[in-house]
Every structure is written in C-alpha cells, then in structure tokens.
Amino acid sequence: MENTERRQLSISRTLKAPIALVWEVWTNPEHIAQWWGPDGFTNTIQQMDLREGGEWKLTMHGPDGTNYPNRSIFKEIVPHEKIVFEHFNPHFITTIVFEPNGEETHMSWTAVFDTEEMLQTIIKAHKADEGMKQNIAKLENYISQLKLSL
C-alpha cells in the first residue's frame, strides 16, 4: 500500500457524543451547513446526495464575502462507520472514520492530495491545515450546543 503521509492532512478527535448524533451532524445537510468550514465561514448546501456515486455541492461563503463553490462525489458510505468522498478543484480524497465508544465517538479525518506539492500549495494559499483544526473545533462546539437543546 502506498504511503500517502507526505501528501495528506489528518486530524482525529474523540467527540463527546454518541455515534448516532455524530453521524447525523455529518450526513444531514441542515446540520453540516451549520459547522462546516473554517472560522468565519458560512455555507449553502445545494445538493447532498449521501450515497455511493452521489454528489455533494456546496458554496462556502468566506468572511470577506468571497464565495467558494465546492463539488464532491461520495465514493463510500458505511452508516455509522465511514464516509469517503472525492473533492474536485483542488482534487483530494477525504476519508472520515467513526468508532463508537459508548457515549463518545472517535473520529479520524484524512484528506489525501494528488501530490505533496499540491498539499503544500493549499496549505500556503488557504491555510488548510489550520482550517481543518478550526473545522473540528466548530464541529465539537456545534455538537455540544445541539446536545444542550435536546
């Protein structure tokens, strides 16, 4: 198996929520629109067809008013276990693995770029490494707020 470590961004976290809730906030467009993206970004989900071969189209709205259209195709969906999608422009494959542990869920999130150079370009141009950390923090905050309202 090819070693992709030098061309990937990865983060993992144990979320203080059961797998059913974590899965819901990842797969329901109404939820994911509330937390997706780095700090200051909002989202409009045009389509989220959560099945293998299904398309996910969203526009991320930057804090400066810039719109960032995104398009992905879901490659693998294993309910409560795994989501894999292929993102276009820039091209990368994202894999999110969920491991339930009672009232918590361990999540591993990896984005693999075509080349190390592309990864470095995306980090320099868009601070993708910091953005991924902010995205996880927004997810954790959203889950904690959601749990309070349940």
pLDDT tens digits for 42-80? 999 999 999 999 999 999 999 999 999 999 999 999 999
2: left (phi > 0), else alpha (psi -120 to 50), else beta? Answer: beta
Q: What is the CATH number of the domain that holds 93?
A: 3.30.530.20
pLDDT in tens, 75-127: 999 999 999 999 999 999 999 999 999 999 999 999 999 999 999 999 999 99
Q: Is residue 128 part of a domain?
A: yes
Q: Is residue 141 part of a domain?
A: yes
Q: Is residue 2 part of a domain?
A: no
With 0-12 / 13-18 / 19 or more C-beta atoms within 10 angstroms meaning exposed / middle / buried, residue 149 is exposed
Task: Look up the pTM and report it.
Answer: 0.94
